[in-house]
A = this chain, B = another copy of it.
Amino acid sequence: MTSFVAEIARRVLAGQAPVVIGLDPRLDALPTAIAPGAPPAERIVEFYRQSLPAIAHNAPCVKPNVAFFEAFGPAGYHAYETVCALARENGLLVLGDIKRGDIGSTASAYAKGHFAIADAVTLHPYLGQDSVAPFLTHCGQPTADSAGGSSTGGKGVFVLVRTSNPGARDFQDLPIDGRALCDHVATAVTRWGSDLPMAEGYSPVGAVVGATWPEELARLRGLLPHAWLLLPGVGAQGGKVEDLAAAFDDRGLGALVNQSRGVMQCFEPNARDWLERIDAAAARFAADCRRVATGGQTANGSQSS
């Protein structure tokens, strides 16, 4: 049994790309050939059942966003759990994009529920340290339990520091003693992770930093020396892989670039070759990120290796 951060580091050092593929199911973006006429949640599960092997071929980790599953009610929530389990069966790590944040007693309930499903989760910072602490109790030394459902250690969290959306400016830029609010959150993230077991220099407390703000990346990287950075916002939101070099250390560790729509919705719904297209888009994205992480240049997305 290894921890989330140890396993991510091991995989990237072994040559896997430092990427995460986002799973944001939308009915109107599913291949029309997938279980036509079946209930929405069944179609979603079947789509991922068929596509996750191609993802596992190109990426170490997936990031299902529970919002897109919850939109389908209890059946959708069940699909979320099923898709997380399918991802693990395919050897993928699961980063649950849940963006939770509540008072301590409630946070404990969330941590228990979500770490039974996922290896790591995303969290809101607004409620402060005691809203994050119940999750950190699951981030200690991993246990010997290798059944996959263990929730007693080895997990990871990614705290929202600088989000990828335009509204990030509304509060995260507000100046406090000459530094932006998000810088103060970054400093707190570093503190929260300081007592937990590290792997290759990185703690289980990571940070979300939008790939849409490349001019802020080096500064936040400096404030987060031991945090894996989750970088969303590439593709549909306008972020570019080639702008993200500052997020990586000289071993190519320290950051995971996320792409969702650009891989999982890269085809017309009626395309017969949708699976080949996902595989090719994931391979191209992986190659681009690997190259940037290790100090090379991207091929502007025109080559897949």
A residues adjacent to B (C-beta < 8 A): 24, 65, 67-68, 70-74, 76-78, 81, 99-107, 109-110, 112-114, 116-117, 124-131, 160, 163-172, 174-177, 181, 184-185, 188, 237
Contact = CB atoms under 8 A, between A and B. Distances in A.
Given A72-B113, A109-B71, A175 B174 contact: no
Interface centre among A76, A105, A168 (most CB of B within 10 A): A105
Contact of A176 (B67, B163, B175): B175
Contact of A70 (B65, B113, B166, B175): B113
A162 to B, nearest CB: 10
A170 B192 CA distance: 12
A166 B130 contact: yes
Contacts of A172: 126, 128
B70 A160 contact: no
9 contacts: A67-B100, A70-B110, A71-B110, A71-B112, A125-B171, A126-B163, A127-B163, A128-B166, A128-B167
Contacts of A68: 106, 109
Contacts of A174: 176, 181, 184
Nearest to A166: B130
Nearest to A68: B109
Nearest to A167: B128
Closest 10 CB pairs of A and B: A128-B167, A128-B170, A74-B78, A130-B167, A71-B113, A77-B77, A103-B165, A71-B109, A67-B109, A70-B113
Contacts of A185: 171
Contacts of A163: 103, 126-127
Interface centre among A109, A130, A181 (most CB of B within 10 A): A109
Contacts of A65: 102, 106
A19 to B, nearest CB: 19
A113 B171 contact: no
A165 B104 contact: yes
B74 A74 contact: yes
Given A71-B109, A99-B100, A103-B164, 7 more contacts: A24-B109, A103-B237, A125-B171, A127-B165, A128-B170, A128-B172, A130-B167
Given A104-B165, A181-B181, A70 B127 contact: no
A170 B129 contact: yes
A189 to B, nearest CB: 12
B74 A81 contact: yes
A171 B175 CA distance: 12
A239 to B, nearest CB: 12
Nearest to A210: B103
